[in-house]
């Protein structure tokens, strides 16, 4: 295979994946608790490291591939004044129960369902601590709700529950589900009590996406994609001309 075409193929694939991640970030720039996708490029050592490559054919280090991860950096905390809005300052997550199992979120836009249970904006049950350290749903009676910095919930001055706030030693094992949910992909990972985490009532953590930065990166990736496309067209045209010349000699 033409080595230049192979390099262009990897370059196009990498830029397309990066553009997809950027588009997802921009679409969720206003989603509370959203954590931005990051793209990581690395040079390929040899084509036969990739399952799509013909065996034993070297490729220049200018050929790249891209992988994605999550930027868990903090977003801006903004005040809302709503008593069931909470923002987390520091490392950690709110544990919630979904039909697919336990999940984790930084989106603290909460409410009470008709049964008086604390739920996320998607309707998932927010987990609290009961019977020691066993997690369970939080049910609150009517009244004035106060949530302190440790996540303890009181109604009319009487403590009712405590939010289950957790963290993990390796955040790379958390996989995104939708806009602001994370699933733990490592069955051996253990929930840990966050070392330094403060709960702010009446506030929400905004997305950590920089819209301006994402737009700048998108323009850069788009230009590189177009350049690689032109390279492919030129190389295929040259290849077609060479083939036609060789056929003409027969």
- Are 57 and 83 in the same domain? no
Query: Do 40 and 127 lie in a common domain?
Result: no
Q: Clarify whether residues 88 and 184 are in a common domain.
A: yes
Closest CA to 221 of 20, 8, 6: 20
Same domain, yes or no, for 115 and 163? yes
Give 158: exposed, middle or buried? Use CB within 10 Å, 0-12, 13-18, 19+.
exposed
Q: Based on the domain organization, do 132 and 231 belong to the same domain?
A: no
Total domains in the chain come to: 2
Top-confidence residue, 248 or 77:
77
Q: What is the pLDDT of residues 201-228, one digit of tens each?
A: 999 999 999 989 889 988 988 888 788 7
Give the confidence band of 102 by pLDDT, cuts at 50, 70, 90: very high
- How many residues in the chain? 250
127-181, pLDDT tens digit by residue? 998 655 667 999 999 999 999 999 999 999 999 999 999 999 999 999 999 889 9
For residues 37 and 49, give the distance between their C-alpha atoms in angstroms, rounded to a whole number: 25
The domain in which residue 102 lies consists of 77-205
Q: What's the CA gap between 219 and 224, in Å, rounded?
A: 9
- The pLDDT assigned to 13 comes to 79
Spatial separation of the C-alpha atoms in residues 35 and 120, rounded to whole Å: 17
Q: What are phi and psi of 212, to 5 degrees?
A: -65, -45
pTM above 0.85, yes or no: no
């Amino acid at each position: 295979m033409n080595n230049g075409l192979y390099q262009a193929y990897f370059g196009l694939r990498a830029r397309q994946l990066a553009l997809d991640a950027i588009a997802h970030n921009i679409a969720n720039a206003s989603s509370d608790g959203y954590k931005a996708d990051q793209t990581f490029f690395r040079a390929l050592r040899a084509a036969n490291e990739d399952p799509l490559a013909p065996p034993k054919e070297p490729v220049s280090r200018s050929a790249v591939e891209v992988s994605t991860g999550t930027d868990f950096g903090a977003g801006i905390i903004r005040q809302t004044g709503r008593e069931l809005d909470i923002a987390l300052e520091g490392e950690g997550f709110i544990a919630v129960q979904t039909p697919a199992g336990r999940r984790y979120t930084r989106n603290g836009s909460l409410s009470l369902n008709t049964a008086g249970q604390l739920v996320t904006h998607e309707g998932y049950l927010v987990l609290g601590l009961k019977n020691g350290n066993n997690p369970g749903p939080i049910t609150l009676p009517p009244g004035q709700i106060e949530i302190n910095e440790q996540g303890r919930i009181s109604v009319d001055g009487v403590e009712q529950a405590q939010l289950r706030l957790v963290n993990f030693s390796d955040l790379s094992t958390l996989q995104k589900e939708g806009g602001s949910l994370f699933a733990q992909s490592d069955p051996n990972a253990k929930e840990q009590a966050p070392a330094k985490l403060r709960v702010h009532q009446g506030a929400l953590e905004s997305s950590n996406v920089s819209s301006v930065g994402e737009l700048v990166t998108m323009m850069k990736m788009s230009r590189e994609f177009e350049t690689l496309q032109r390279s492919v067209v030129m190389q295929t045209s040259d290849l077609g001309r060479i083939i036609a010349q060789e056929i003409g000699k027969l």
